[in-house]
């Protein structure tokens, strides 16, 4: 049986929960997860759409907001912010006891802004101010347009979860945005860099789903290898990026590394292990955000050994073999980014439409 506290103590990997609902906040289940060793929480538009549409837990607040003249869109954000604030408060003791390493709760800007730098930055600033919690992370998609907004948020001393990363190359750009933002912040001699946190959310299982389909055969030797290989390459790049004189100058001011966060780690192929994307990516200064079912499976029979960087040469051989098999991972990442953005936008539009209908 896996032990989340031992995982952190032995390997410095934090398990975060990829789910949030008002029921979890009210019935004590989130507190129970924290007692199990969960060290943070992530949300996204799809998670909130399911929470709001899948229960009547929000009806009283929603009806009151509508009666007071609030629009359905604004009512949505009122409800989201309330849940995020409550989750931040639940994790606040861990945030304090971990010296701001963990205890973070992530909330995403409106997905229709993903191709707008200025709009993303303005929305991220507003959402950060509105939640008004030390341990909130604002999620910003890692689009080309999002990168300057990410850098600006960091330069302002705000914590950011950079989401929807599908390639090591984009991950490199995300790390550069983080470090450049810290360098801007460090120009203020009074700035406390130790209280600026960021994770780079590298999506995993969706890569295998797409690559396996392109391989054309479910029994191809390379099925189920692309996602882990890309994650491990990203981790190696992370180790290189956060070393050397440039980083050491920031670390001397208290700066923390931007941890790789393994996202989309629920196994989608039923023939693969239900803890594949947890077991194979364990290593220091990383986060794995998992859905409830994957968390339960990992607690039951997950691994407790370092795996993320055990054989870099094997990782590179796998990536080379994928290329030789005709898999264009750049094209895969471009497609998955488009699909990820579209999925979140569709979830957001769906819940807003449902709220408009409910409001009459």
For 118-155, how does the pLDDT look when each residue is reduced to its tens digit (9 = 90+)? 999 999 999 999 999 999 999 999 999 999 999 999 99
pLDDT at 360 over 90: no
Q: How high is the mean pLDDT of the chain?
A: 97
Mean pLDDT of 61-77: 96
Give me the sign of the Cα torsion angle 91, 92, 98, 104.
positive
Token pair recorded at residue 229: 């290989």
* Domain ranges (residues) in the chain: 4-359
Mean pLDDT of 13-41: 97
Query: Please, which residues have CB within 8 angstroms of residue 288's CB and are 6 or more apart in sequence?
Result: 13, 14, 15, 16, 261, 262, 265, 277, 278, 281
Residue 280 annotated among the catalytic residues of the structure: no
Mean pLDDT of 195-207: 98
Where do the DSSP E strands lie in the chain?
Answer: 13-18, 40-42, 104-108, 136-141, 160-165, 198-203, 259-263, 286-290
Q: pLDDT-based confidence at 304, cuts 50/70/90? A: very high
Q: First-to-last CA distance in the chain?
A: 50
pLDDT at 358 over 90: no
Catalytic one of 50, 139, 280, 358: 139
Top CATH class, 4-359 = alpha beta
State the virtual CA torsion across 84, 86, 90, 96 in degrees, nearest 10: 70
Mean pLDDT of 299-327: 97
């Amino acid at each position: 049986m896996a032990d989340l506290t031992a995982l952190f103590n032995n390997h410095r990997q934090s398990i975060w929960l990829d789910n949030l609902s008002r029921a979890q906040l009210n019935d004590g289940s989130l507190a129970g997860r924290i007692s199990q060793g969960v060290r943070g929480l992530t949300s996204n538009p799809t998670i909130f759409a399911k929470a709001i549409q899948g229960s009547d837990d929000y009806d009283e607040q929603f009806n009151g907001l509508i009666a007071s003249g609030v629009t359905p869109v604004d009512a949505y954000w009122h409800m989201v912010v309330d849940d995020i604030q409550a989750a931040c408060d639940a994790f606040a003791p861990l945030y304090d006891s971990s010296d701001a390493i963990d205890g973070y709760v992530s909330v995403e800007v409106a997905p229709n802004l993903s191709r707008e730098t200025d709009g993303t930055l303005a929305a991220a600033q507003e959402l950060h101010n509105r939640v008004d919690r030390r341990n909130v992370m604002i999620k910003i998609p890692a689009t080309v347009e999002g990168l300057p907004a990410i850098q600006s948020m960091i330069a302002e001393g705000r914590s950011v979860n950079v989401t929807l990363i599908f390639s090591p190359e984009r991950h490199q750009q995300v790390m550069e945005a983080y470090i450049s933002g810290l360098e801007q912040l460090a120009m203020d001699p009074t700035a406390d860099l130790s209280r600026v946190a960021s994770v780079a959310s590298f999506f995993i299982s969706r890569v295998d789903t797409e690559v396996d389909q392109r391989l054309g055969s479910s029994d191809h030797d390379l099925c189920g290898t692309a996602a882990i290989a890309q994650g491990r390459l990203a981790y190696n790049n992370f180790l290189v990026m956060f070393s050397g004189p440039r980083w050491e100058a920031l670390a001397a001011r208290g700066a923390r590394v931007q941890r790789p966060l393994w996202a989309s780690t629920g196994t989608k192929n039923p023939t693969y292990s239900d803890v594949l994307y947890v077991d194979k990516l364990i290593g220091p200064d990383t986060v794995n955000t998992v859905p409830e079912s994957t968390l339960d499976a990992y607690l039951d029979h997950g691994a407790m050994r370092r795996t993320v960087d055990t054989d870099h040469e094997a990782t590179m051989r796998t990536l080379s073999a994928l290329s030789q098999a005709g898999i264009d991972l750049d094209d895969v990442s471009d497609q998955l980014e488009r699909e990820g953005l579209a999925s979140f936008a569709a979830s957001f539009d769906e819940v807003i439409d449902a709220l408009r209908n409910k409001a009459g």
